[in-house]
Amino acid sequence: MNFASDNWSGAAPEIMEAVFRANEGAVPSYGGDDLTKKVEAKFAELFERDCAVYLVTTGGAANGLALSVLTPPYGMILCHEESHVQMDECAGPEFFTGGAKLLPVAGAAGKLTPAAVEKALAGFPDRPPHGAPATVLSLTQGTECGTMYSVAELTALCETAHQAGLSVHMDGARFANAVAATGAAPAELSWKAGVDVLSFGGSKNGCLMAEAVVFFDKALARDFEFRRKRAGHLPAKLRFIAAQLDAYLESGLWLKLASHANAMARKLSGGLAAIDGVEISYPTEINAVFACFPDGVAEKLREQGAAFYPWITPGDPASGRMQRLICSFKTTDEDVQTFLKAVSKLA
């Protein structure tokens, strides 16, 4: 009964096979190999646009390095108060940007609105040299609360940001889950809506460790290769990251894996909602379920071997009662049914 995180689930067989294939022979290092160039071309095809693509090993590095390009050290990044860059990266964005300020903004179910962004900006009027100038809006798709932005919502947010002179960064650790759930084209959920830079995740959806920073305006990436190298995130054997993403994007594997995880989460959410005393806290739109159990049930489930985490954040509407359960490409129907039976018996 493992619902702790999609990070717990290892790698998909197709990804492992690709890594073993990449181990054959000797090829140029630091991204000078043909496989890395092939993956860069795949991203251009996927997003229907020529773009600059840089591979890294972690989502934290992807986010921090992407933001470092978009803001000076004295700038200010607006983000949701429950976002990963705010809550879970140990001040990584501040480190990579050289000290840029994060401004957490509240929003229901992990989502920001144009009105909330405008209000936050209004609270920091232009006061040089005393006030940090707003430089970036960072959005998460899908969100930390298991919800997602529609194309229309993204477009409105990006328009608000651009009108205020802000660039737009998207944390796409679960971008695959959002694309699979909406059915929208990757381009529609990114640059066509106004996103300038995307942190494209693979590690939560079947890769070993493979993330990409995608610049839709190649001019923005003018010094990124130096930033990546200086930060220690340019592996000598970059082909092994490229191999993962090559297999990941081949024949829609990334969407197949994400669709399965989403479907398991819907089953889990629907089953929990039917149990007396269990409350579903947020709409289940991707592969994450947020629920409140009757008193003592969560603890007893963990005693029986279930793995999931409490979800306590600045915007917690449940006063510490909420639990987060994540499904992955490896979650089975049996896993879901076993957990539901345990909950039903305890509740």
Q: pLDDT for 211-255, tens place per residue?
A: 999 999 999 999 999 999 999 999 999 999 999 999 999 999 999
Q: Residue 309 phi/psi, 5° resolution?
A: -120, 150
Residues 261 and 162 in one domain: no
The span from the CA of 24 to the CA of 171, in Å, is 33
Kindly state the average pLDDT of the residues 184-203.
Answer: 98
Pairing status of strand 134-140 against strand 167-172: parallel
Residue 151 sits in a domain of what CATH number? 3.40.640.10
Let me know if residue 284 belongs to a domain.
Answer: yes
Checking if the pLDDT of 64 tops 70, the result is: yes
Q: Which domain holds residue 316?
A: 253-346
Checking if the pLDDT of 320 tops 80, the result is: no
The span from the CA of 326 to the CA of 57, in Å, is 22
Last residue of a domain, one of 251, 282, 307: 251
The pLDDT, as a whole number, for residue 318 is: 66
Quote the pTM value. Answer: 0.96
Residues 243 and 270 in one domain: no
pLDDT tens digit sequence for 112-153: 999 999 999 999 888 899 999 999 999 999 999 999 999 999
- Residue 48's CB: how many other CB atoms inside 10 A? 14
Let me know if residue 204 belongs to a domain.
Answer: yes
The pLDDT, as a whole number, for residue 316 is: 72
The pLDDT, as a whole number, for residue 331 is: 97
Let me know if residue 6 belongs to a domain.
Answer: no
Residues 188 and 319 in one domain: no
Q: Please, how many CA atoms are within 13 Å of residue 69, restricted to the half-sphere of its CB?
A: 29
The pLDDT, as a whole number, for residue 138 is: 98
Residue 342 sits in a domain of what CATH number? 3.90.1150.10
Residues 227 and 126 in one domain: yes
Number of structural domains the chain divides into: 2
Residues 235 and 257 in one domain: no
Report angle CA 121, 126, 132 to the nearest 5 degrees: 75
Pairing status of strand 279-280 against strand 76-80: unpaired
Last residue of a domain, one of 230, 251, 272: 251
Q: In what order do the strands lie in the sheet with 76-80?
A: 52-56, 211-215, 197-201, 167-172, 134-140, 76-80, 101-105
Last residue of a domain, one of 217, 233, 251: 251
The pLDDT, as a whole number, for residue 57 is: 95
